[in-house]
Amino acid sequence: MSTPTALRSDRLRALNPEARTPFFNYWRVLGPILAWAMVVAGSHSPTLAAPATGPAVPVVRLETASSALVIGSDGSVIGFSRRSDGQEYLAPKQPAPVLSLRSGGTLHAPDSATWDGASQRLTLRFGQSGLSARIRAVAQPSHLTLELMEVTPAGAADLALWGPYPTRIRKTVGEVVGVVRDETFALGLQALNIKTLGGYPENDEGSADRPYGARQTEFGSVLQAYSMDRSKPRHLTIWGKRAPNMPVPAVPGETVIGSKIALFGCPEPQALETLGRIEVAEGLPHPLINGVWAKVSPERGRSYLIANFSEATIDEMLGYVKRANLMSLYHENAFKSWGHYEPNPKFFPGGIAGVKACADKAKAIGVRLGAHTLSNFIQTHDPYITPEPDSRLAKTGESTLTAPIDATTTTLPVASPEYFTNRLGNELQTVVIGKELVRYRTVSTNAPWKLLDCQRGAYGTTASPHPAEAPVGKLMDHAYKVFFPNLEMQREIAHNLARVFNATGLSHMDFDGHEGCLAPGEGTYGNELFAKEFYDHLDHTVINGTSPPLSHFYWHINSYCNWGEPWYGGFRDSMQEYRINNQAFCERNFIPKMLGWYLLRTGTCLSDMEWMLARSAGFDSGFALATSLDALRKNPESGPILDALREWEKARRAGVFSPEQREALRNPKREFHLETVAGGGWDLFPFHDSVDFQHEALTRQPGEPTSAAWELKNPDAPQPMQLKLRVVGTSGSIRNPTFEINRSATLTIPVEIQAGQSLLLESDAIVRLYDAKGNPVQAFPLKSPLPMIQTGTNPVTFDCEFVGDAPPKVTVTFKTRGAPTRVARP
């Protein structure tokens, strides 16, 4: 076993010359001790404490059933190996401190370590800094734990960094879950409490775009976690500069002491199972669905329907959900307001009892009932805001009145403009003075400073006189026209949610707006705390998702990540690349794969739905279908669409598709149709697209035809013509597109199609027109039958009327349905 020499800071600078440049002036200045640190820009540059040199010798070897971790006399990890054959996974020639401590702006790596086997304590010493740390290290069959028990001098460390631990593994890096894998073996790190954040400390807030418990590097990967001392008041710039220099109150008792991680190595197929064992052994969240761990439950990754329902419409809506055999019915607007989360009387006049009656009906037929939330967002009509604002609302900062004001004053004199001029996080431009909210238009440009054109008694509060020196607090807000809580109130809101879910029996929700939990200024710790408070106060399992980013500790609570929204394009277009990229993210982080939300409108057709369902089957991913009772009632294909949802989902969850079929089903350019067959199983029909045929306005001699002549090759059996026609351009339109097939059948479609629009014609002989974003414009049936396309080559003549000074061009793609392949349960 090799024992790498502790690396000098100057040598690490040579490995990482970028650390000298101004752009890398924050944690990458610490990079000389951690060469693989994340590339981020920041606000200040701590000085570097270089470790001593000299060869390290083992002081303790900690073994699990599958792996061994060796800690050297210099306080670094000098071995992380597979026990069965001694295969070493620690990356060579990379620093690997067990723990580093930051004190006085300097991050100190240990330079010596001693081990007391009787007490299972590892003592690290940090050179001339005078710091020392005691770590309790315990080996169990599945994992080993490292817990920071003491730092001397007490209170001297404001940050404790575990690792980063460099590994040779680069193939699959689960950045959020903190597990790296190759073909045969997995290594992992788990934060064992919410004070320990998976990732690297990019800033003093303790937040990141995506908290990386593991990160891919040139040499392989790193595993990493950290804790921050939050027990002292701080001033921070938080949440992407939404709140510069925000005062962040102390969290009493929340120091780096007690920071705790688990490390493990195991055969790759056992990685997820090992995570479950760690959860149970260490008292981490371990949610069950029908008695089975949620991460391996057959219910994981099931699709669901998003639609508003009421006490009056619940039976009809449940009928649709049951017909499609979806997991749940999920309400978009179930609550009167965000904050207290009481039921919306528009849908539930019976209040809590009304929601519970709906949930009981759903449970009786095996359907979950869900409700959408915005986590800690507080709407302006919530009791936390009106008629008296809660004193615990988050403030980006405050000043004071420089003179008394009465209840009608509309110009407020303030001592400083600092917190009132910021444009980020200032959508509502609201301050709190005592029990009054005041909105202002702007701030004076010179001293004496004033808030101008004020609306007194905003949001139903009472305008009142206020004395000189009265605090004027700037409330943190958001583009959704909401306010946010401080950390104490944020925990209370999580309790509010749990209380409502317990009382009603609701069992499905999303932590949408989870990033709002950054508002108190505690970074990812705020996200973790909110989710855990909700989870800890539940009396039943609640399936839950989240908005990005997913965080490391919350991974244990989370049921799925269903990212991808339908509002930005047509059914086949909106955020499609983003949705597909998320499948790889979910797979490498042991998260059930989901494709996001899709929108079922009155004009959504079966072929669009089957296009999405093919992607779902190809990636083995669930989805959410957002719709409305009105759309389900009015869409003429609602029945076939719901039946298709049921059959495709049944086939996907049964695992009937071969690897080759799944590869084809993933291709967004391919279409498929699934039909049930007698006796069980399904027929999978592929569609084949022709080449793109094009036509444009031409100037010809009088009497000379202006039509285009194409040859359509049909590799399949004879069938009615199906096509998609796109009008390409920025102006003009076409009218009455006309097709002549095999010189014997002519079809004219009586429609005008604007530039940017498209037309879909399928075997049901319904003409469907879509706008430039793919949204339905109109649909009508043809009065004449579709021409037949024969097997082999079919001569096609096409023409249309071009309209406009700069007429558009036309692109036509034909499609044919191929012979089916029988698929059945394995």
Quickly list DSSP for 147-181: EEEEEESTT--SEEEEEEEEES--SEEETTTTEEE
DSSP designation for 552: T
- Residue 826 has a pLDDT of 67
Span 1-19, pLDDT tens digits: 333 222 223 322 222 222 2
Pairing state between β 328-331 and 304-306: parallel
| pLDDT of 701 strictly over 80 | no
Give dist(CA 335, CA 193) in Å, integer. Answer: 31
| Percentage of the residues of the chain whose pLDDT score is greater than 70 | 93
Query: Where is average pLDDT lowest: 298-307, 403-412, 485-494, 566-575?
Result: 566-575
221 touches 215 (CB < 8 A): yes
DSSP designation for 555: G
The average confidence (pLDDT) of the chain is 92
Give burial (CB, 10 Å; 0-12/13-18/19+) of 743. exposed
pLDDT band at 54 (very low <50, low <70, confident <90, very high): low
Give dist(CA 651, CA 798) in Å, integer. Answer: 40
| pLDDT of 662 strictly over 60 | yes
pLDDT band at 699 (very low <50, low <70, confident <90, very high): confident
Report angle CA 715, 716, 722 to the nearest 5 degrees.
Answer: 100
Give burial (CB, 10 Å; 0-12/13-18/19+) of 713. middle
Instruction: Measure Cα distances from 763 to 98, 582, 690, 709 in Å.
Output: 66, 34, 16, 23
546 touches 372 (CB < 8 A): no
| 68 φ/ψ angles, rounded to the nearest 5 degrees | -140, 135
230 touches 251 (CB < 8 A): yes
514 touches 219 (CB < 8 A): no
For 709, the token pair is 């002549």
DSSP designation for 288: E
68 touches 79 (CB < 8 A): yes
Query: Where is average pLDDT lowest: 35-44, 110-119, 127-136, 142-151?
Result: 35-44
Find the radius of gyration of the CA atoms of the chain: 31
- Residue 703 has a pLDDT of 66
579 touches 596 (CB < 8 A): yes
Residue with tokens 């009304």: 354
Query: Where is average pLDDT lowest: 146-150, 343-347, 652-656, 678-682?
Result: 678-682
H or E stretch at 327: none
Q: How far is CA 238 from the centre of its chain?
A: 20
- Residue 145 has a pLDDT of 98
Query: Which SS3 state, helix, strand or coil, does residue 236 take?
Result: strand
Q: How many CA atoms lie within 13 A of 697 on its CB side?
A: 15
Question: Where on the phi/psi map is residue 679: left (φ > 0), alpha (ψ -120 to 50), or beta?
Answer: left
| pLDDT of 421 strictly over 60 | yes
Q: Stretch 753-770: mean pLDDT, rounded?
A: 96
Query: Which SS3 state, helix, strand or coil, does residue 1 take?
Result: coil
DSSP designation for 34: S
Q: Stretch 653-664: mean pLDDT, rounded?
A: 96
Closest CA to 608 of 586, 633, 637, 577: 637
- Residue 570 has a pLDDT of 78
Give dist(CA 506, CA 500) in Å, integer. Answer: 8
Which of 36-40, 345-349, 820-824 reaches the highest mean pLDDT?
345-349
Q: Stretch 388-414: mean pLDDT, rounded?
A: 98
- Residue 704 has a pLDDT of 72
Residue type, 362: A
Instruction: Measure Cα distances from 767 to 10, 536, 638, 751 in Å.
Output: 71, 54, 17, 9
Span 596-624, pLDDT tens digits: 999 999 989 999 999 999 999 999 999 99
Residue type, 280: V
Q: Stretch 69-94: mean pLDDT, rounded?
A: 98
The CA-based dihedral angle spanning residues 608, 614, 620, 623, taken in that order and rounded to the nearest 10 degrees: 10
Query: Where is average pLDDT lowest: 176-185, 286-295, 531-540, 775-784?
Result: 775-784
Give dist(CA 6, CA 11) in Å, integer. Answer: 10
| 614 φ/ψ angles, rounded to the nearest 5 degrees | -65, -40
| Predicted model pTM | 0.90
DSSP designation for 254: -
pLDDT band at 675 (very low <50, low <70, confident <90, very high): very high
For 363, the token pair is 């449970």
755 touches 771 (CB < 8 A): no
Provide the strand spans (E) within 440-521.
Answer: 442-443, 450-452, 471-475, 477-478, 482-483, 508-511
Instruction: Measure Cα distances from 713 to 200, 345, 416 in Å.
Output: 57, 59, 75
| pLDDT of 737 strictly over 60 | yes
Give dist(CA 530, CA 517) in Å, integer. Answer: 7
Residue with tokens 């202002």: 440
For 186, the token pair is 């997995």
| pLDDT of 557 strictly over 50 | yes
Q: Stretch 754-760: mean pLDDT, rounded?
A: 96
147 touches 206 (CB < 8 A): no
pLDDT band at 595 (very low <50, low <70, confident <90, very high): very high
Residue 2: CB atoms within 10 A of its CB come to 10
- Residue 29 has a pLDDT of 29
- Residue 773 has a pLDDT of 84
- Residue 44 has a pLDDT of 31
pLDDT band at 209 (very low <50, low <70, confident <90, very high): confident
DSSP designation for 229: -
Closest CA to 370 of 538, 507, 502, 494: 507
679 touches 754 (CB < 8 A): no
| pLDDT of 53 strictly over 70 | no
Instruction: Measure Cα distances from 207 to 426, 550, 581, 747 in Å.
Output: 21, 12, 23, 61
Is the four-CA dihedral 798, 804, 809, 810 of positive or negative sign? negative
Closest CA to 71 of 129, 38, 116: 116
Give dist(CA 763, CA 769) in Å, integer. Answer: 15
Give burial (CB, 10 Å; 0-12/13-18/19+) of 161. buried
| 613 φ/ψ angles, rounded to the nearest 5 degrees | -65, -30
Q: Stretch 494-510: mean pLDDT, rounded?
A: 98
Give dist(CA 148, CA 199) in Å, integer. Answer: 17
Span 285-324, pLDDT tens digits: 999 999 999 999 999 999 999 999 999 999 999 999 999 9
Residue with tokens 């000074």: 805
- Residue 623 has a pLDDT of 97
| 665 φ/ψ angles, rounded to the nearest 5 degrees | -65, -20
Query: What's the distance, Cα to Cα, between the start and end of the chain in Å?
Result: 47
Write the secondary structure of 737-760 as one string of H (helix), E (strand) and C (coil). EEEEECCCEEEECCCEEECCCEEE
Residue type, 74: D
Q: Which residues of 166-190 are buried (b: 16+ CB within 10 A; e: fewer)?
A: bbbbbebbbbbbbbbbbeebbbbbb
- Residue 16 has a pLDDT of 28
